[in-house]
Amino acid sequence: MPDDLSIDNIAGIGPVTKQKLHDGGILNIMDLATRNISDIADLIGGDSEKASDFITKARSYLMEKGVLSKDFMSATELYKIRKSIERISTGARNLDGLFEGGIETGAITEFYGEFGSGKTQICHTMSVVVQMPKDKGGLDGSTIYIDTENTFRPERIAQIAENRGLDPLKVMERIIVARAYNSSHQELLLKAIGKYIENEGVRLVIVDSVTSHYRSDFPGRGTLAERQQRLNGFMHQLLRTAEMYNIAVVVTNQVQSSPDSFFGDPTKPVGGHVVAHMSTYRVYLRKSGKARVARMVDSPYMAEREVVFIVSEKGIEDAPEDKKK
Residues contributing to the site for Mg ion (CB under 5 A): 119-120, 151
To ligand GTP, the closest distance from the beta carbon of 190 in angstroms equals 20
SS3 178: strand
For residue 117, state whether it binds ligand GTP (rule: CB under 6 A). yes
Q: Among 118, 141, 168, 194, indicate the residue that binds ligand GTP (CB under 6 A).
A: 118
For residue 254, state whether it binds ligand GTP (rule: CB under 6 A). yes
Tell me the C-alpha to C-alpha distance, in Å, between residue 233 and each of 10, 13, 46, 297: 24, 24, 18, 23
* Distance, C-alpha 29 to centroid of its chain: 21
Q: Among 119, 164, 227, 282, indicate the residue that binds ligand GTP (CB under 6 A).
A: 119
Q: How far apart are CA 95 and CA 90, in angstroms?
A: 7
Whichever of 121 and 183 has its CB closer to Mg ion, that residue is: 121
C-alpha triplet 290, 207, 155: angle, nearest 5°:
60
Whichever of 41 and 296 has its CB closer to ligand GTP, that residue is: 296
Contact indicator for 251, 209 with CB cutoff of 8 Å = yes
Among ligand GTP, Mg ion, none, the one that 121 touches (CB under a kind-dependent 5 to 8 A) is ligand GTP
Please name which of 79, 202, 200 lies closest in space to residue 139, comparing C-alpha atoms: 202
Q: How far apart are CA 84 and CA 105, in angstroms?
A: 9
For β-strands 175-179 and 291-297, DSSP reports them as unpaired
Site for ligand GTP in 9-48 (CB under 6 A): none
Q: How far apart are CA 110 and CA 250, in angstroms?
A: 6
Asked whether the CA dihedral 203, 30, 109, 177 is positive or negative, the reply is positive
C-alpha triplet 122, 126, 129: angle, nearest 5°:
140
What's the first-to-final CA gap in the chain, in angstroms? 42
Whichever of 61 and 145 has its CB closer to Mg ion, that residue is: 145
Binding mask 279-318 for ligand GTP (x = CB under 6 A): --------------------------------xxx-----
Q: Among 28, 90, 109, 120, indicate the residue that binds ligand GTP (CB under 6 A).
A: 120
For residue 143, state whether it binds ligand GTP (rule: CB under 6 A). no
Q: How far apart are CA 309 and CA 83, in angstroms?
A: 28
Q: What does the DSSP 8-state code read for residue 246?
A: T
To ligand GTP, the closest distance from the beta carbon of 153 in angstroms equals 8
Among ligand GTP, Mg ion, none, the one that 183 touches (CB under a kind-dependent 5 to 8 A) is none
Q: How far apart are CA 23 and CA 15, in angstroms?
A: 12
Whichever of 105 and 109 has its CB closer to ligand GTP, that residue is: 109
Whichever of 121 and 183 has its CB closer to ligand GTP, that residue is: 121
To ligand GTP, the closest distance from the beta carbon of 143 in angstroms equals 16
To Mg ion, the closest distance from the beta carbon of 162 in angstroms equals 22
Count of residues that interact with ligand GTP, criterion CB under 6 A: 14
Whichever of 285 and 296 has its CB closer to ligand GTP, that residue is: 285
Among ligand GTP, Mg ion, none, the one that 156 touches (CB under a kind-dependent 5 to 8 A) is ligand GTP
Q: What does the DSSP 8-state code read for residue 261?
A: T
Q: Among 64, 79, 115, 195, indicate the residue that binds ligand GTP (CB under 6 A).
A: 115
Q: What does the DSSP 8-state code read for residue 207?
A: E
Which residues are near ligand GTP by CB under 6 A? Answer: 113, 115-121, 151, 156, 254, 311-313
